[in-house]
Amino acid sequence: MQIETHGHQIEVTPALREYVENRFERLGRHFEHPCQIRVQLGLDKPDHKAEATVNLSGKSLHADATGVDMYAAIDLLADKLDRLLLKHKEKMVDHHRGEGIAQNGAFN
C-alpha cells in the first residue's frame, strides 16, 4: 500500500505523516493487491479537514472528514475509508454469490 500525504495551505510535519501511515495501515488488510492512497490535509477554519482518495484496480473511492484538530480529522477519515472499503469488498463478493444456484438450492 502506497500512501501519499500532502498539505493544502498547511505544512505536513513528520509526526502528522507518521500518524496518517499508522492509522491507514489497517486499510491494507481489506485487499491483497497493492492500492494507492492520496491524503490531503488542510485547514478549513475553524475546522481541520482531511481528504483521501483510494485508487484500486478500476475503482476510485473518495472520503473526507473534518475535526476540531488534525488528529481527530485523520481518525474520522480512517474510519470512513474503512467502512467504504468494507462496502466495496462486500459488493465485489456478493456480485457473484447467487450465480449457479437455483431457487431450490441445487446447482444449475
> Tens of pLDDT along 2-40?
889 999 989 999 999 999 999 988 887 777 777 889 999
Residue 21 belongs to some domain of the structure:
yes
Residue 102 belongs to some domain of the structure:
no
Please give the residue range of the domain that contains residue 18.
2-94
Is pTM beyond 0.85? Reply is no
Residue 13 belongs to some domain of the structure:
yes
SS3 28: helix
Q: Which residues contact 94 (CB under 8 A, 6 or more apart)?
A: none
Q: Where does 7-103 have alpha helices with state H? A: 14-24, 70-94
pLDDT at 95 over 80: no
Residue 25 belongs to some domain of the structure:
yes
Residue 88 belongs to some domain of the structure:
yes
CATH of the domain at 29: 3.30.160.100
Residue 105 belongs to some domain of the structure:
no
> Looking at the 3D structure of the chain, how many domains does it have?
1
Residue 104 belongs to some domain of the structure:
no
- Cα distance between residue 42 and residue 106, in whole Å: 55
Residue 72 belongs to some domain of the structure:
yes
**How high is the pLDDT of residue 72?**
95
